[in-house]
Amino acid sequence: MTAEQIRFDGQVAIVTGAGAGLGRAHAVELARRGARVVVNDLGGALDGSGGSSAVADEVVREIEAAGGEAIANGASVCDRAGAEHLVASAIDRWGRVDVLINNAGILRDKTFKKVTLDDFETVLNVHLLGSVYVTKAAWPHMLDRGYGRVLMTTSSSGLYGNFGQSNYSAAKLGLVGLMNTLKLEGQRNDIRVNAVAPIAATRMTESLGIDPALFERLQPELVTAAALYLCSADAPTGAIIEAGAGYFSTVQIVEGRGVSLGADATAEDVAAHWTAISDMTAAAPFSHGGEVFERIATALTKE
C-alpha cells in the first residue's frame, strides 16, 4: 500500500540557510511538491563571516527552472530586523507563512578550553537565537491563520555531545527545549513544532573525519524526507527524528522510574541508592514538565 503523496500546494515555506546542503535540498523538494519558497541564505563562510546573495539566487533559479515559485532573501537570521524582514518578504509576496524550517547554522569548533566567548556566543546567536528570531516573527501569522509547521534543526552533538563542539552542542540542545515549549503553546492553533537531527554530507561535516565511503552515502536529500514529513499537514508535534542515509529514528528525552528517599534524604542516601536512581529499565518520556511534578506528588502521597 502506497501512502498518499504529501503535498504543499498553496502553502508558503521559509527555509533558512537554504543556499546549499540541507537547506537547499529542503527548499527544492518543498517547491517540487507545490510550495512557494523563500530561500534564505546570508551566503557567508562556514564560520559565518562574509556574505553574498549568489547562493540563494542560484537555488531560486533552480526552483524556477523546474516550474516552481521562489524568492531569495539574504537576511541574517541572528539580526532581529533581518529576521523580521525575512518573514515580511513572504507576507508581502504571498500573504502567508505556513512552513518554517530553521536550518541556518555555522561552526566555530574548538575545545572549551580554547574557544573564545565571542565564538561561543556567535554560534549560539546563529543556531539558537536565529531560530528564535525567525520563529518569533512568523508566529503571529501562524496564530492568526490557525495553522503552522515549524521545524528546528538539532543535532546528535546537542543530544549526546561531541568533543570540541560545546558551543554548537549547547545551541542544538537549546532548540529542543524551545521546541518542547512551542509545541504546547501552538497546539490550540494547530501549530506543530518538531525537530530533525540530520546526519548528512555537507560543508559543516566534511572536516569531521567521516569515512569517505560513508560520506558519499550521506546525501542531504536523504534527510529531506524526514524534514518534509515533520512539516506536513499530518505531522506529529514535539517529535525529534534522527535522519541520514535512509535511516530514521525517533529520539526522546526519558526519565527513569525514580526513587522517593524522603524529605530528610542526604547526599549519602543518594549515593547508597544510586543503582536504583539510575535504573532506566522503566524509563518513559513526558509530554510536558508538569508531569515531573505530578510524579513527585504521587510519590509523596505513598509515603
Active site residues: 168
Those residues whose C-beta lies under 8 Å from the C-beta of residue 230, and which sit 6 or more positions away, are 149, 151, 194, 195, 196, 236, 239, 241
For 177, left (φ over 0), alpha (ψ -120 to 50), or beta? alpha
Q: How would DSSP label each residue in 18-34?
A: TTSHHHHHHHHHHHHTT
The neighbouring-strand residues paired with 13 are 37, 99
Q: What is the three-class DSSP state of 301?
A: helix
Question: Using alpha carbons only, how large is the chain's radius of gyration in Å?
Answer: 21
CB atoms within 10 A of CB 207: 10
